[in-house]
A and B are shown apart, each in its own frame.
Chain A
Amino acid sequence: MHKPEPPLPRWGEHLLALLIDAQDSDALLGDFAEEYTVRARSFGHWKAGLWYSAQIAGSSVSLVWLRLHHWFERREHMKDNFGIWDRRFIGIGLLALLPALLVVVPGVLQSGLGLSGLNDGLDAAFNHLPALRFLIHPAVLLGGLLVAFALNALPALGLHWERNPEGLSATVTFKNHWLHWTLVGLSLLMLATILAYSVTENFIITPR
């Protein structure tokens, strides 16, 4: 008589369905189900459930990586070489850099070239509309730089993670996406400039 298959934990199936890319779902969900079934028959549902939970936890990073990898692969195969998501990432990156540009560019013009016009103009604008001051809050500045960096570094870098018995290792390849690299460079330059100004103003004592 055919033994009915032990039912899989539903919460696990739902969670895995969120993590796993559609093209991998049969293979991966099937593997989880198969191994769970074997363990449930040999050791009971409780131990099989523990194993299942541990495997989901241990696999989650890999599954997310695979999902992102397939997503970027599909993006690469889109009709335009520079697809819609590339344009969106560039656009969002530029918007995210805006607060940093508002701080750094006038500051550099004033301290480097003695041109205070832009700085004065922005001060006047902030006095007139104080609600806009949130744009130059440190959290907004640094958050924007991080977003611009991450959104443009990810498509430009090919990250290969390898999970082997000794641990995790990664190799990186650099793709020829000059617009993304420009934004990555700009965000790093802005960060360096902001840090340099902070150090200069807070730690370097000017002679009287």
Chain B
Amino acid sequence: MELLTRIEEIILLAVLELGAQAYGVTIRERVKEITGKSISVGAIYIPLERLKEQRLLKDWQGDPTPERGGRRKRFYRVTSDGMRALRESKRIHDSLWKKVTDRGLMAA
């Protein structure tokens, strides 16, 4: 299994957290809340597309709404492969951080 990149991990976690309301606008807002940095409306779709190709995310069309000029939302959800990738990523993070904290390298 390929390792997730930083932004891929953040997006998967955002999608997981947002649940049934995970689509372009909400994912972008959540990524901004998490990282403090803004990604443009179009740019968020590049990692989303890549995650879809890797079958870590699945998408479906929602209903059109007047705020969107009558256009449909594209919702996302994390697949079982996506969950496996997130667990692996967390395992790696936890293992690395444990080594650093055990050696007292992260002094206050």
- Chain A positions within 8 Å of B, measured between CB atoms, are 5, 8, 24-35, 37-38, 55, 58-60, 62-63, 65-66, 69, 160-166, 169
- Chain B positions within 8 Å of A, measured between CB atoms, are 5-8, 23-25, 28, 31, 35-37, 39-43, 45-47, 49-50, 61, 64-69, 71-74
Q: Is the CB of A24 within 8 A of B43?
A: no
Q: Is the CB of B25 within 8 A of A31?
A: yes
Assembly CA distance A164 to B50 (angstroms): 13
| Cβ-closest 9 pairs across A and B | A59-B42, A30-B71, A165-B37, A30-B68, A27-B74, A164-B7, A58-B40, A163-B43, A62-B42
Q: Is the CB of B41 within 8 A of A30?
A: no
Q: How far is the CB of B95 from chain A (nearest CB, A)?
A: 23
Q: Is the CB of B46 within 8 A of A66?
A: yes
Q: Is the CB of A55 within 8 A of B41?
A: yes
Q: Is the CB of B72 within 8 A of A30?
A: yes
Q: Is the CB of B73 within 8 A of A27?
A: yes
28 pairs, A vs B, C-beta closer than 8 Å: A5-B67, A24-B45, A26-B74, A27-B72, A27-B73, A29-B71, A30-B24, A30-B69, A31-B25, A31-B68, A33-B67, A33-B68, A34-B65, A34-B68, A37-B67, A55-B41, A58-B40, A62-B40, A62-B43, A69-B49, A162-B8, A163-B46, A164-B6, A164-B7, A165-B31, A165-B35, A165-B36, A165-B39
Q: How far is the CB of A66 from chain B (nearest CB, A)?
A: 6
Assembly CA distance A33 to B95 (angstroms): 43
- Chain B residues contacting A63 (CB-CB under 8 Å) are 42
Assembly CA distance A66 to B47 (angstroms): 10
